[in-house]
Structure 1
């Protein structure tokens, strides 16, 4: 039982709530546009949780292999699980957890290809490439934060819509953009405490390549762009009469105070006592914004504005 608990902890379950939120938002969007299957939603959500857990375990494996895990400043929000460097879990077990969870997630993906359509295959291939190549390859290229933004932001929203409807739609791509930016920002700010370890390990994250001040500026611009995107989509809906994003999605603006705190904290990167609380605020901002967007789609379905 103790070993099973360690394997579970290796997936970093405290971070998997992001996948639950993405499942909620993607399903809410699909329901808004007329399709909902609870069984499919739950199964796809479980598949995404497995994928996310796999990415975390594989990341831990490569971080230890490269020596990065031996130099990171571990925080509650960054630095990996710590199980392997602390000697609580053999390195091979971390890889085993990553492989088993990814295979299980792939089997769920194959099921949805069968029941929803072969058009899901390109999305699954892109997601697999983001998962497999992120730590060993993509992190060694400039500005790698795009990969989790795509693989754990945009693609899941589109995937949840597809498994419910059997099709893609441009409005869903539009709806997925805030999630892509938010997940990009989640990884970006979490890289701040690890900048020296990442530099030693040959990673080319934004803080490493462009410096902390530039990275903080990118974080602030991306954060503001989330609100600009949401407001712009709602204004297009009002101006054209064609739903780009339901007006109720403006409730996501209630997270603005959290966003401001996170942006201020990003500028305090020299002081860990201020940076670490900003990491937590950023997590709350990212999760709550997507939850409120999902609520906006649900309200739009229940109380349509003609």
Structure 2
């Protein structure tokens, strides 16, 4: 494995679909408001989202390797990192350099939109950079922050940041959409922490599966997942979201059957946990994609 391949693997490209989905929600929201952003701004928003997501993955890989966590964790397709640095330790400095490069590019894109849109971009963009830089080393030491930070990064920061960057406004539809993304992404990261509980405990992390225990943390996973579906239903009922957004509830039966019903047994048997993790990723990505498509199709003509 070459160094460039190790750096690419450390960015976890298989998980980067979440960023364009959240940026796409921002684009759909501004189209719904009658705003047609320029092609340049649209490309920069998607590039910034992907680079920010890659940056937090790269920094997480580097710091998990430097702390020794990579040497004691049991990797799964959904947790434990890519394993690229334990296999090729000499790639650690290039991974750190790639982190700096991606963050610099994110900062330059942010400065472009700060010049165009003013201080709201400074608030949201600055919050995003802080989350990227502090997540692995500091935020994972605080159970509540560790729960909320991923959802805030992809919901309020990425979805609402995309809306502002593309010239839109923060209306009730945008706020509800960002809340759905917040709940789903925080649920995703919380569930993916379950297999890493013991290894994370050994290096001083304090996320909820450590402080609450795996079973109670799994109960919170179920609450967050159902809360996201409930927000969509209530948003449609209150006419904040278009009625077509009900299609985003299509994955709900799968969530009940393949995730919520199986989680109690899966918390004590990691072999049962793997199919639950896979189903969870599929449910979350499908829900966000359907919400994106619904917002696009329900955009008023003209």
Residue aligning to 2:23: 23
Root mean square deviation, CA, Å: 1.8
Task: Report the Cα offset of residue 60 of structure 1.
Answer: 1.1
- Residue 191 of structure 2: aligned partner: 189
2:283 aligned to 285, 289, 304, which one?
285
Give the superposition deviation at 1:289.
0.5
Distance 1:249 1:93, change over 3 A: same
Quick check: 2:33–2:168 contact (8 Å CA) kept in 1? no
Q: Distance in 2 between matches of 1:169 and 1:301?
A: 15
Offset, 1:119: 2.1
Shift of 1:87: 2.4
Question: Which residue does 2:5 correspond to in 1?
Answer: 5
Shift of 1:153: 2.5
**What's the counterpart of residue 248 of structure 1?**
244
How far apart are the structure 1 equivalents of 2:170 and 2:300?
23
Structure 1, unaligned stretches of length 5 or more? 238-243
Q: Secondary structure at the match of 1:165?
A: coil
Task: Measure the CA separation in 1 of the matches of 2:231 and 2:9.
Answer: 36
- Secondary structure at the aligned position of 2:268 is classed as coil
| Change beyond 3 A, Cα 1:257–1:88 | farther
1:140-184: CA deviation from partner (whole Å, max 9, x where unpaired): 012312001101222111011111125433431222100001110
TM-score normalised over the length of structure 1: 0.92
SS in structure 2 of the partner of residue 84 of structure 1: helix
Shift of 1:105: 1.1
What are the superposed Cα offsets for residues 123-147 of structure 1, whole Å, 9 maximum, x if unpaired?
A: 1111111111111111001231200
**Quick one: distance in 2 between partners of 1:254 and 1:171?**
20
Query: What corresponds to 1:226 in structure 2?
Result: 228
- Equivalent residues in 2 for 1:90-239, closer than 5 Å: 90-143=91-144, 144-165=146-167, 167-237=169-239
- Is contact 2:193-2:209 (8 Å) kept? yes
2:254 match? 258
Q: Displacement, 1:192?
A: 0.6
- Looking at structure 1, the residues matched to 107 and 204 of structure 2 have their Cα atoms a distance apart, in angstroms, of 30
The structural deviation recorded for 1:186 is 1.0
Name the CA distance, whole Å, in 2 between partners of 1:211 and 1:40: 44
Counterpart contact for 1:51–1:101, Cα < 8 Å: yes
TM-score (norm 2): 0.94
Aligned residues of 1:149 and 1:179 also touching (Cα < 8 A): yes
Residue 89 of structure 1: how far off its partner (Å) = 4.6
Cα drift, residue 303 of structure 1: 7.3
Greater CA deviation, 39-48 or 257-266?
Answer: 257-266
8 Å contact kept, 2:6–2:88: no
1:240 matched residue in structure 2? none
Quote how far apart the aligned CAs of 1:62 are.
1.3
After TM superposition, give the deviation of residue 188 of structure 1 in Å: 0.5
Other structure's SS at 1:168 match: coil
* Cα distance in structure 1, aligned partners of 2:71 and 2:152: 29
| Partner Cα separation in structure 2 for residue 85 and residue 2 of structure 1 | 13
Q: Is the 8 A contact 1:73 1:194 kept in 2?
A: yes
In the alignment, the residues of structure 2 paired with residue 287 and residue 88 of structure 1 have an alpha-carbon distance, to the nearest angstrom, of 32
- In the alignment, which residue of structure 2 is the partner of 1:241? none
C-alpha separation in 1, matches of 2:279 and 2:301: 31
